[in-house]
């Protein structure tokens, strides 16, 4: 039997088991839908469409991960844990691209990855097996909105 994930419906509070492969497909579909939805706005510029199309074609999603520092530990203890679990050598897994990696003071680190659908589980496992104990993790499907915002701004400023 494959790996499963529990999902709770906010409306009914019913819990459903979903295979991780299905969760990955749903996450990719949601990210792609959000990235391509018109939201009752004029057609996005060609630059944004090209980027969204490229993401769709290669079946990758952007995934933003908050690596929140365990503030009960010193920085030296956090680094010791990461060294012991070989987090740095294994994150991100091969085939996953780091798009950005920032330190957010008082929070920890914020990493955005470009993740092929078949690597989503590997990213999750690396975090579970190697980051937990040093960080609390939060995952957010993400899409690049910058080109759309810039086109909207340019259109509105030119009126």
CATH of the domain at 142: 3.30.70.920
Indicate the angle between helix axes 146-157 and 46-57, nearest 10 degrees. 170
Number of structural domains in the chain: 1
pLDDT in tens, 15-35: 555 555 555 555 554 444 444
Is 150 a residue whose pLDDT tops 80?
yes
Distance of alpha carbon 17 from alpha carbon 5, whole angstroms: 6
Distance of alpha carbon 10 from alpha carbon 139, whole angstroms: 18
Average pLDDT over every residue of 67-95: 95
Per the structure, the complete domain to which residue 61 belongs is given by 4-157
Can you give the pLDDT at residue 62? 96
Look at phi and psi of residue 40 and say left if phi exceeds 0, alpha if psi is from -120 to 50, else beta: left
Sign of the dihedral defined by the CA atoms of residues 65, 66, 72, 76, in that order = positive
Average pLDDT over every residue of 132-143: 94
pLDDT in tens, 104-123: 998 899 999 999 999 999 99
Residues in the chain: 159
């Amino acid at each position: 039997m494959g790996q499963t994930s529990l999902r709770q419906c906010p409306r009914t509070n019913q819990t459903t088991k979903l295979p991780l492969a299905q969760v990955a497909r749903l996450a990719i579909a949601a990210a792609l839908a959000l990235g391509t939805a018109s939201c009752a706005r004029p057609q996005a510029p060609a630059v944004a469409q090209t980027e969204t199309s490229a993401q769709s074609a290669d079946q990758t999603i952007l995934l933003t991960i908050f690596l929140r520092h365990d503030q009960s530990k010193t920085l030296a203890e956090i680094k010791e844990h990461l060294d012991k679990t070989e987090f740095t050598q294994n994150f991100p897994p091969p085939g996953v691209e780091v798009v950005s990696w920032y330190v957010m003071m008082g929070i920890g680190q914020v990493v955005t990855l470009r993740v092929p659908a078949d690597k989503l589980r590997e990213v999750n496992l690396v975090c579970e097996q190697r980051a937990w104990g040093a960080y609390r993790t939060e995952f957010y499907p993400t899409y690049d909105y910058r080109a759309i915002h810039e086109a909207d701004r340019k259109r509105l400023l030119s009126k």
